[in-house]
Amino acid sequence: MDLWQVYREKHLKRLEEALKRGEVDPPAVPLLEIVNRVPDAVSTSSCSGRVVLLETDVEERKRESAFHRKWHRPVTTEELLEGFRSFSGEVLWLKMDPLIFHVATRTLDLAREMVSAAREAGIKVAGIQVIDPWKVNVEVRGIDQMAVPLYWKGEPLLDEEHVRRFVPIVNRKMLKNQRRLEKLYDSWYKLFNELYPDLFP
């Protein structure tokens, strides 16, 4: 088995185990399935987009950060307010993170084709990160995002009425992100159908 096959099998096994543990956000699964059907590609990490209440310290150190609440879909007013009311830490951010997919391909040609297809789908941030002798790393990332501090040094910066007003804003961004994900799926499926017709009838 060559280096590519070893690498691909390792990531497929890691994804399978993550799926069994329920650690993969459901909206990402259809795209992951078509990518991993291609013998010359494998997904390495992914997020379909999410709304989060992120707890941090004042320095925003990553190892001190934790999800207070997380949703891979639009959020309800009640859910957001419950998370806001129940917080008792130092710093809390309301964030909407866009879709992000990392894919490795066996060839530079396939990587280029996937980047072009992503851009045709309206994904502006798509490119090749690393070119190794036996694999190429591709990143595709959405642009719909926001970040608002709700607590600072243990004190709320906003009252509940102001927090409530963020719900339609964050959900509008989340829905735009979902539409981009659907377009990316369609564009990559079309590409794979052209390159691997036997695998994509």
32 CB neighbour count, 10 Å cutoff:
18
* Model confidence pLDDT, tens digit, residues 134-183: 999 999 999 999 999 999 999 999 999 999 999 999 999 999 999 999 99
**pLDDT score for 58:** 82
| Residue 11 belongs to a domain | yes
Per DSSP, the three-state class of 27 is helix
62 CB neighbour count, 10 Å cutoff:
6
**pLDDT score for 16:** 97
Say which CATH number the domain at 8 has: 3.30.1960.10
Residue 25 pLDDT class (50, 70, 90 cuts): very high
**Is the pTM here over 0.85, yes or no?**
yes
How far is the C-alpha of 71 from the C-alpha of 87, rounded, in Å? 17
**Domain total of the chain:** 1
Give residue 200's identity as a one-letter amino acid code.
F
How far is the C-alpha of 135 from the C-alpha of 65, rounded, in Å? 32
**pLDDT score for 65:** 87
* Model confidence pLDDT, tens digit, residues 70-108: 999 999 999 999 999 999 999 999 999 999 999 999 999
Range of the domain at 9: 3-192
